[in-house]
């Protein structure tokens, strides 16, 4: 821990890692490794290094920048994410991730900007902001202390808490009922994920039939967390749908990379030249993470720059 703290306070180390992150001539996989390294280091210097990359042409990378800032849960990033959310020149997937990240950080001050977009014509953006507002209100309310909520085994900061219900049949009904608020359906989704069973995975995969792009994208995300081979067929079918929204296809590709079986890697290799940049880049990064076999070891830019410095 002391070594990490020294690196966190070292301008040289942070700037070297930041230079890898911002260098468009570097392979995208190395830039992702640099990003995850900065996320693990944390602190204002790491956040500033990440923030300086939102002008990049890769929507996938910028989306991941916002995700990491949210997971770091540092109020210092709120103004950065607010600016990204409000920037109409940014891709929808990037603005969505910035809104979700504001919800993850959970500052009451973010509600004002989130409310500006909760009824936006871009439905993915509107739903993201609705979820973020609800999560922040839950976080600062008495409900967050309820003890009968299932535990998240993945240590991720989710856009909604799990539902109180633990009945599989009832949760499936909540998940698939499109007349319910998106927040209610997300809560059912995370309760199902936390069950970590084959049955719950199969129910979650039914969520790909939803008419909501954001919802389908989140289904892919949680299936990637679960890493249950029972979901491979469903994830592959979505990637194969060339008329599916790239936001969903890219998340399914990343989920297959998390699963990392030989079947998954062979499949992903076929989409390295996909017409959608975000899909082919997702396959590239997913294959790289899959080959590393360890998410913590994947964030290895710190060891590389310190090795060079030595």
Q: Is the pLDDT of residue 147 over 90?
A: no
Q: Is the pLDDT of residue 44 over 90?
A: yes
What residues contact 233, with CB distance under 8 A and at least 6 apart? none
> What integer is the mean pLDDT of 221-249?
98
Share of the chain above pLDDT 70, in %: 90
Tell me the two tokens of residue 147.
């003890």
CATH code for the part of the protein at 8-145:
1.25.10.10
**pLDDT (0 to 100) of residue 13:** 87
The answer to whether the annotation marks 119 as part of a ligand binding site is no
* Domain definitions of the chain by residue range: 8-145, 146-309
Q: Is the pLDDT of residue 306 over 60?
A: no
Q: CA–CA distance from 200 to each of 86, 194, 221, 223 (Å)?
A: 37, 9, 14, 10
The span from the CA of 116 to the CA of 119, in Å, is 8
Architecture per CATH, domain 146-309, reads as Alpha Horseshoe (1.25)
**pLDDT (0 to 100) of residue 290:** 86
The answer to whether the annotation marks 218 as part of a ligand binding site is yes
The answer to whether the annotation marks 97 as part of a ligand binding site is yes
Local confidence band at 142 (pLDDT 50, 70, 90 cut-offs): confident
The answer to whether the annotation marks 217 as part of a ligand binding site is yes
The answer to whether the annotation marks 172 as part of a ligand binding site is no
Local confidence band at 42 (pLDDT 50, 70, 90 cut-offs): very high
Tell me the two tokens of residue 287.
């294959």
The answer to whether the annotation marks 276 as part of a ligand binding site is no
Local confidence band at 297 (pLDDT 50, 70, 90 cut-offs): very low
Local confidence band at 215 (pLDDT 50, 70, 90 cut-offs): very high
Q: Is the pLDDT of residue 199 over 80?
A: yes
Confirm whether 8-145 and 146-309 share one CATH topology: yes
> What integer is the mean pLDDT of 10-14?
75
């Amino acid at each position: 821990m002391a070594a990490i703290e020294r690196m966190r306070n070292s301008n040289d180390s942070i700037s070297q890692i930041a230079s890898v992150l911002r260098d468009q001539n570097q392979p995208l996989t190395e830039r992702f490794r640099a990003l995850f390294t900065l996320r693990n280091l944390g602190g204002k210097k790491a956040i500033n290094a990440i923030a300086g990359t939102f002008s990049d042409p890769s929507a996938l990378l910028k989306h991941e920048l916002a995700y990491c800032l949210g997971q770091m849960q540092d109020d210092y990033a709120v103004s950065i994410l607010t600016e990204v959310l409000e920037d109409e020149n940014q891709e929808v997937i990037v603005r969505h991730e910035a809104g979700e990240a504001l919800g993850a950080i959970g500052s009451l001050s973010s509600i004002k900007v989130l409310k500006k977009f909760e009824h936006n014509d871009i439905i993915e953006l509107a739903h993201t902001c609705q979820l973020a507002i609800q999560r922040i209100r839950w976080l600062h309310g008495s409900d967050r202390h309820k003890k009968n909520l299932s535990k998240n085994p993945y240590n991720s900061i989710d856009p909604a808490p799990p539902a109180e219900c633990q009945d599989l049949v009832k949760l499936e009904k909540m998940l698939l009922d499109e007349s319910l608020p998106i927040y209610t359906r997300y809560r059912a989704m995370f309760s199902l994920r936390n069950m970590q069973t084959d049955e719950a995975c199969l129910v979650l995969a039914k969520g790909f039939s939803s008419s909501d792009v954001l919802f389908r994208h989140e289904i892919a995300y949680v299936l990637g967390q679960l890493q249950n081979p029972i979901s491979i067929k469903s994830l592959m079918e979505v990637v194969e749908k060339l008329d599916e929204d790239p936001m969903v296809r890219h998340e399914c590709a990343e989920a297959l990379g998390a699963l990392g079986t030989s079947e998954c890697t062979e499949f992903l290799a076929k989409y390295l030249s996909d017409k959608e940049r975000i899909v082919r880049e997702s396959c590239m990064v997913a294959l790289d993470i899959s080959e590393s076999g360890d998410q913590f070891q994947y964030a290895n830019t710190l060891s590389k720059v310190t090795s060079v410095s030595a």
